[in-house]
C-alpha cells in the first residue's frame, strides 16, 4: 500500500478506483492490450487497498482495457479530424485517456461529482488545456464551459449505467441540442447485467458493484435515436485485438445480443432553437 493520497469516495465515485486498478493491472503486463503508464503511476500514489478491495483478475483487467481502447480510438479519430477540438469527459473519475491519446493541441474538460473532481484535481492537476469542472453530468452547467468552435466529442465511459433511463435520454437530448455536429460516445451493460446490479447480485468476495439502472442490449441501439431528432448516426464500436482466449472469442461475442457495448452517436449539424438548452429534467432554460 502506498503512503500517498487517501481517497474517501461514495459508492459510485469509488468505481473510478476500480477501473483505474484494472487498467493498471493490465498495463503492467509485457503483452498488454493498453499502454497506460499513467494509470500504473497513479496506483502507486494512492493509499488504498486495491487488490484486497477489487481482486487481481486478469480477465477483468483485460476486458476493462479493451473497453478503454474503444473510447481511445474514437477520441483519436475525432482529434485527427478536429486537432484543436474539445473532448468532454463526463464522470471521468481517474481515467488517464488524455495521457494516452492527446495530440498536444486539443482541449479536455473533465466533469465529475465534487468529491471525485477534487481527488482528480489533487492527483492530475489541471493545466492550460486540461480543466476540471465539479458538477454532475446531469447538471447542464458544464455545457457553458465548452467552446464548440473547433468541434466537440462527449465521452461517457463508465457513466450511463449508473443513471436512470430517463436521465440517459435527457442527457443525450440536451447534448444533441446544445452541440450540433458533435460526437457522443457511450458504453452500456446488457439488461441482465443491469438487473443483477440493481438487485445487489453483482458481487464477489472482494467487491459489490453499485446499482446500474440503465441497461441496453445490442438490438436496442437504434432506440437511442428517439432521444432527440438530431441523433442522426448510431454506430457500435467493437473491441479489437485482445490476448489469448479473449482474442479468439471477441468475433463470436459480436453476435451475442446481451453483451456490453460501446456506441458512438453523431448529432446533426443543425440543433435546436439557438440560445436554449434542454435540462436533464426535461425543462428548458435560457
Find residue 89's DSSP bridge partners.
110, 155
Mean pLDDT, the chain, as a whole number?
92
- Nearest to residue 90, comparing CAs of 10, 164, 156, 170? 156
**Cell numbers describing residue 274:** 439557438
Alpha helix ranges (H) inside 149-273: 165-178, 191-198, 245-253
Q: Are 97 and 39 in contact (CB under 8 A)?
A: no
The pLDDT of residue 11 is: 86
pLDDT of residue 1: 41
Q: What would the grid cell of residue 185 be?
A: 460516445
Q: What's residue 9's pLDDT?
A: 86
pLDDT classification of 271: cutoffs 50, 70, 90: very low
**Looking at the predicted structure, is the pLDDT value of residue 2 above 80?**
no
Kindly give the pairing relationship between strand 284-285 and strand 277-278: antiparallel
- pTM given for the model: 0.91
Say which residue the cell 463508465 belongs to: 158
Q: CA geometry: angle at 141 spanning 139 and 146, to 5°?
A: 120
161 by Cβ neighbours in 10 Å (0-12 / 13-18 / 19+) ranks as buried
- Cα 122-126-130 angle, rounded to 5 deg: 140
Residue 68 grid coordinates? 478503454
Do 190 and 203 touch, CB atoms closer than 8 A?
no
Residues 109-138: pLDDT tens digits? 999 999 999 999 999 999 999 999 999 999
Looking at residue 3, its pLDDT comes to 52
Supply 63's cell numbers: 476486458
Contact yes or no for 110/117 (Cβ under 8 A) = yes
Average confidence (pLDDT) over 63-69: 97
Amino acid at each position: 500500500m502506498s503512503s500517498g493520497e487517501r481517497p474517501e469516495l461514495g459508492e459510485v465515485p469509488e468505481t473510478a478506483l476500480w477501473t483505474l486498478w484494472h487498467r493498471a493491472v493490465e498495463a503492467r503486463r509485457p503483452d498488454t492490450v493498453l499502454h497506460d503508464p499513467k494509470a500504473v503511476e497513479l496506483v502507486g500514489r494512492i493509499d488504498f487497498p486495491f487488490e484486497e478491495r477489487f481482486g487481481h483478475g486478469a480477465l477483468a483487467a483485460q476486458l476493462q482495457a479493451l473497453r478503454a481502447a474503444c473510447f481511445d480510438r474514437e477520441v483519436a479519430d475525432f482529434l485527427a479530424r478536429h486537432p484543436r477540438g474539445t473532448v468532454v469527459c463526463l464522470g471521468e473519475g481517474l481515467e488517464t485517456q488524455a495521457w494516452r491519446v492527446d495530440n498536444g493541441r486539443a482541449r479536455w474538460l473533465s466533469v465529475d461529482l465534487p468529491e471525485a473532481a477534487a481527488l482528480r484535481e489533487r492527483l492530475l492537476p489541471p493545466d492550460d488545456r486540461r480543466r476540471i469542472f465539479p458538477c454532475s453530468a446531469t447538471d447542464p452547467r458544464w455545457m457553458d464551459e465548452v467552446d464548440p468552435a473547433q468541434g466537440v466529442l462527449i465521452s461517457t465511459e463508465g457513466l450511463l449505467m449508473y443513471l436512470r433511463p430517463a436521465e440517459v435520454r435527457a442527457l443525450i437530448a440536451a447534448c444533441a441540442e446544445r452541440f450540433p455536429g458533435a460526437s457522443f460516445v457511450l458504453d452500456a451493460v446488457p439488461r441482465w447485467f443491469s438487473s443483477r446490479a440493481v438487485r445487489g447480485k453483482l458481487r464477489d468476495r472482494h467487491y459489490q458493484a453499485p446499482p446500474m439502472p440503465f441497461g441496453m442490449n445490442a438490438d436496442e441501439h437504434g432506440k437511442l435515436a428517439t432521444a432527440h431528432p438530431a441523433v442522426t448516426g448510431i454506430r457500435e464500436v467493437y473491441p479489437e485485438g485482445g490476448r489469448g482466449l479473449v482474442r479468439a472469442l471477441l468475433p463470436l461475442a459480436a453476435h451475442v445480443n446481451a453483451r456490453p457495448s460501446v456506441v458512438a452517436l453523431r448529432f446533426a449539424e443543425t440543433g435546436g432553437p439557438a440560445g436554449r438548452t434542454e435540462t436533464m429534467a426535461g425543462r428548458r432554460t435560457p
